[in-house]
Amino acid sequence: MAGRTPKDVSPEGERRTPRSARGEANRRPPLPFVSVAVRIRPNLSQEPVALWAKSSASSQRVCCHRGFLLEEYEFSRVFGPEDDNQTLFDQLQGSTLTGSVFQGVNETLFAYGQTGSGKTHTIFGSRTEPGLLELFVRRFFAVAPPNAALFAGCYEVLGDSLTDLVDSRRFLSEGSLHHEDIVHDELFVKTQRCSYQIVRVRTAEMCLSLLNNARCNRTSGISSFNDDSSRSHAIVHLFVQNPSCDGASASIGTLTLVDLAGTEKEHENPSEKGRKSARLLNTSLSSLNRLLRKLQTGSLGESERRQSVLNKCLWEYLRPGCGIALVFCASPLLQHRTATLSTLAMATDSKLIHSQRKSQYINMPSRAQAPSPSPARATAPPAPVPSGGEGPRGPSAPPTPRGETPRRPVGMARLAGQESSRRERSSSLDGASDELLVENEKLRRKLDIARTRSRERLLQVERQRDQLASDHMALQRECESLRALFIRQQQQQLAFWTGPFMEVLRRDGPPGKVEAWDDAASQATEAPPSPPARCGAAGVQGAAPCLVTSSAPRPCAAQSPSSLQSQLEYWREMALDLQRKLQKPCISSKATPTPETAVSLASRRSESSSEGDCPAGNLAEDSETTVADGRELVSH
Ligand SMILES: Nc1ncnc2c1ncn2[C@@H]1O[C@H](COP(=O)(O)OP(=O)(O)OP(=O)(O)O)[C@@H](O)[C@H]1O
């Protein structure tokens, strides 16, 4: 069995140095960052387990029991059921990550895993235990310099929709928040614009209250293994603007915490609504997986950004220059082993992601250039929403702290200074290209429909052509058989009218018949009796009716017996000649048919002539019978 046994892969915990724009990195000590960690949640049901942690001072491993095989996976950090969120924060170098954000780096931390594996518990915590979000917020406010500004935003993504989870009304009515502290970030999603609020937070309590409130607004439902399952991806941004000591520039860093919805087999969800949301969530998770795979292979391209709304929202925080950490949550239960193995496989592959952290700085206008603070409210007006195309991915004008000199820029990395103007330009371009993409998508769909239709039409025409070809073949065959039948009948007629039995009829047959024949023959031609011209071999087919209708010798009562005898000789000779030409070996000039045979043949002929409209098959049968009779007649 090809199991994943990454013992040969060196453990992570790599030391990476954020690169400062001013070369400060050389002076800073290297920072230990953790990029991949696995957390095994407690077994709350006392069911049999298949996964457990095996950590020692030298290695951090998980063991997975596969029946007859025990697999070990090694990661930067492995957390067992006994480890709480504080341990996680410490082991994931939460303080170092906070420092990195204050230096202007975009740090992103994901909680990834199966439904019910403890992702929400890890990020948001529970009633009794603070989550990583709370621990980070407290840390931020603990280490923030007095002139630093913090902003927070929280929204959820479900399928193609983005919903702002922050409800600032209560804080506005309480007076702890002012309108100018809120800006709206916009995102062009498919054909509509979505926006979410970014709020200036002044205290840790206010920030946590705002974010806890946002968490309560999140969509939840029932999943196959969790009665209080998150049915959306929740994204929390904490933006930090940290001015330098000379005030000429500021670093802009962001901490993004992502609580992904759990992976779940669609059909295992107990409700119809749950299955529908599972389908949407699995689709967006697949496109995120693809993005992560590209990060693993170092081949991340711009096209991945557009694959889903989730990718679009996270793009700024995943692209090169950002720090990425993934916490893979897993259930230890035996019944979840398949999902757990797939989580471990993804975790193993994610060890290939190498974050090249880069700090972002913005220029700060000097105080001399800044407008003098207004005594009433020294704040900038709310950010205008840019017109046309996609708006910037951050507010176009940053929020300005109340009572402070308005400075541009303030706040998030994407908002201000050179970086901001560059991004605004690229944002408007993005907007235009998004519209073009929508148009292209429409055209592509139309083209697909037209292609399908023309393919169907082509198939239909081909089917008709085949049908016609087969009809044509059948008709040709029928035609051939009719032609052969006609030839045979003509030959038999020829043989009949010219054969020696005519003499027998004339000599021995009943007089009525001979007279009738005489009458018919006299009506057929008015020409004087004379020996008819000989017909050539090629003229057999055409000559037969001629013999019967116009060129047949007219037997007349006035003719002398000698002339009749000469005509009889002539016809006999003709018949022999014809038989020779038709290569009928059994014809003998000496053969003399009996009167009974001749009469039976004549009656059959009259029968067959009355059935002139019978189908080809019958005709062919008749023809065979007649031919057989003819032979019988001749060879007697
Ligand atoms: N490490 C843990 N310690 C204590 N309880 C935990 C732990 N991990 C998970 N739980 C509990 O397990 C239950 C499910 O956890 P949680 O809701 O965090 O899972 P989830 O991965 O977010 O699920 P979903 O993807 O369905 O939202 C919760 O009641 C949670 O309190």
Give the CATH number, domain containing residue 21: 3.40.850.10
227/352 same-domain check: yes
In angstroms, rounded to a whole number, what is the distance separating the alpha carbons of residues 209 and 18? 32
- Taking only Cα atoms into account, the Rg of the chain, rounded to an integer number of angstroms, comes to 50
Any binding-site annotation on 175?
Answer: no
Answer yes or no: do 242 and 351 share one domain.
Answer: yes
Q: Provide mean pLDDT across the span 436-452.
A: 89
How high is the pLDDT of residue 242?
A: 85
With respect to residue 209, please indicate whether it lies within any of the assigned structural domains.
Answer: yes
List all residues 6 or more positions away from 229 whose beta carbon is below 8 Å from its beta carbon: 115, 116, 220, 221, 222, 223, 261, 262
Tell me, yes or no, whether 600 and 515 share the same domain: yes
Question: Which 8-state DSSP code applies to residue 358?
Answer: B
Task: Please list the residues that pair with 184 across neighbouring strands.
Answer: 197
Better-predicted residue by pLDDT, 210 or 535: 210
pLDDT band at 509 (very low <50, low <70, confident <90, very high): low
On whether the CB atoms of residues 80 and 41 are closer than 8 A, the answer is no
CA count, 13 A, side-chain hemisphere, 271: 12
For residue 103, what are the domain limits? Answer: 6-367+403-415
pLDDT at 328: 95
Split at pLDDT 50, 70, 90, the class of 542 is very low
Report which of residues 76 and 518 the model is more confident about: 76
Mean pLDDT over the full length of the chain: 73
Per-residue model confidence (pLDDT) at position 247: 67
Yes or no: say if 220 and 228 are a contact pair by the CB < 8 Å rule: yes
Residue 162: count of CB within 10 angstroms of its CB: 23
For residue 86 and ligand 1, the question of a CB distance below 6 A is answered with no
The alpha carbon of residue 296 and the mean position of all alpha carbons in its chain are separated, in whole angstroms, by 24
How much is the pLDDT for 249?
77
369 is an annotated ligand-binding site residue: no
pLDDT for res 589: 42
Confidence (pLDDT) at 80: 92
Is the separation of the CB atoms in 33 and 355 below 8 Å?
A: yes
Ligand 1 centre from 349 Cα, in Å? 24
Q: Residue 459 Cα, ligand 1 centroid: separation in angstroms?
A: 55
pLDDT: is 518 or 468 the higher one? 468
- N-terminal to C-terminal alpha carbon distance within the chain: 89
- Residue-wise pLDDT for 96-149, tens only, equals 999 999 999 999 999 999 988 999 999 999 989 999 999 999 999 999 988 889
pLDDT band at 508 (very low <50, low <70, confident <90, very high): low
Give 340-374 pLDDT, tens digit per residue. Answer: 999 999 999 998 888 888 888 877 655 444 333 33
Among 521, 577, 634, residue whose Cα is nearest residue 626? 634
Question: In which residue are the tokens 């949301």 written?
Answer: 277
Provide mean pLDDT across the span 448-467.
Answer: 92
Name the band, by pLDDT with cuts 50, 70 and 90, for residue 630: very low
Determine how many CB atoms are found less than 10 A away from the CB of residue 328. Answer: 27
- 252, 241 contact by CB (below 8 A): yes
The conformation of residue 6, written as its DSSP 8-state character, comes to G
339, part of any domain: yes
231, part of any domain: yes
Whole-number pLDDT of residue 185? 85
Looking at the fold, whether 526 and 411 belong to one and the same domain comes out as: no
The string of DSSP letters for 579-604 reads HHHTT-TT--TT----HHHHHHHHHH
Does one domain contain both 410 and 547?
no
Q: Are residues 300 and 213 in the same domain?
A: yes
Residues 249 and 130 in one domain: yes
Please say whether the beta carbons of 211 and 227 come within 8 A. Answer: no
Residue 493 known to bind ligand: no
Give pLDDT, residue 568.
Answer: 84
Q: Do the domain assignments include residue 329?
A: yes
* Residue 120, marked binder: yes
- Tracing tokens 């309108």 back to the chain, one arrives at 179
**For 179-215, how does the pLDDT look when each residue is reduced to its tens digit (9 = 90+)?**
888 888 888 877 778 889 999 999 999 999 999 999 9
Question: What are the C-alpha distances in Å from 92 to residues 79, 152, 536?
Answer: 10, 22, 112
Q: Please work out whether the CB of residue 125 comes within 6 Å of at least one atom of ligand 1.
A: no
- My answer on whether 22 and 147 are in the same domain is yes
Rounded mean pLDDT of 436-464?
90
CA distance 619 to 496: 19
DSSP per-residue string spanning 487-502:
HHHHHHHHHHHHSTHH
Question: Rounded distance, CA 188 to CA 166, Å?
Answer: 19
| Domain contains 382 | no
Q: Name the residue with higher pLDDT: 345 or 159.
A: 345
The encoded tokens of residue 611 equal: 């059935």
The answer to whether 140 and 98 have CB atoms below 8 angstroms apart is: yes
Q: Quote the tokens at residue 46.
A: 């006392």
pLDDT (tens digit, 9 = 90+) per residue, 405-425?
333 333 454 455 444 555 566
Identify the pLDDT of residue 528. 41
Mean pLDDT of 68-81: 89
Residue among 241, 325, 337 nearest 47 (CA): 337
Atom 12 (ligand 1) nearest CA? 118
Instruction: Clarify whether residues 409 and 532 are in a common domain.
Output: no
Please identify, among 415, 435, 452, the residue that sits at the C-terminal boundary of a domain: 415
> Which position has the higher pLDDT, 268 or 592?
268
Does the structure show a pLDDT above 60 at 601? no
The overall longest dimension of the chain from CA atoms, in Å, is: 153
Ligand 1 atom nearest residue 220's Cα: 27
**Same domain flag for 407 and 499:** no
Ligand 1 atom closest to Cα of residue 85: 1
Least confident residue range of 99-108, 244-253, 610-619: 610-619
Does the annotation list 388 as a binding residue?
no
pLDDT of residue 299: 84
In DSSP terms, 188 is beta-bridged to 193
Q: Which of 161-175, 582-596, 599-613 has the highest mean pLDDT?
A: 161-175
Which atom of ligand 1 has the smallest separation from the CA of 228?
17
| Ligand 1 contact, 131 CB (< 6 A) | no
Q: Which of 216, 224, 226 to mutate to test the pocket of ligand 1 (most atoms within 8 A of CB)?
A: 226
pLDDT at 259: 94
441 occurs within a structural domain:
no
Pocket test residue of 121, 260, 333 for ligand 1, highest count of atoms within 8 A of CB: 121
- How far apart are alpha carbons 636 and 625 in whole angstroms? 16
115 assigned binding-site residue: yes
In the chain, how many domains are there?
2
- Give the distance (Å) from ligand 1 centre to CA of residue 502: 113
223 lines ligand 1 (CB under 6 A): yes
- pLDDT tier at 475, thresholds 50, 70, 90: very high
**Is the same domain home to 407 and 502?**
no
Report the distance separating Cα 36 and Cα 23, nearest Å. Answer: 28
Q: Is 247 annotated as a binding residue?
A: no
- Say how many C-beta atoms besides its own lie within 10 A of residue 69's C-beta: 10
Q: Is residue 381 part of a domain?
A: no
Q: What residue type is 452 in one-letter code? A: T
Domain boundary at 415, 440, 455, which? Answer: 415
- Quote the distance between the C-alpha of residue 4 and its chain's center: 30
Give the residue from 351, 386, 415 where a domain finishes.
415
| One domain, residues 205 and 321 | yes
- Where residue 222 falls (left for φ over 0; alpha for ψ -120 to 50; beta otherwise) is beta
CA-nearest residue, atom 10 of ligand 1: 118
Report if residue 19 sits inside a domain: yes
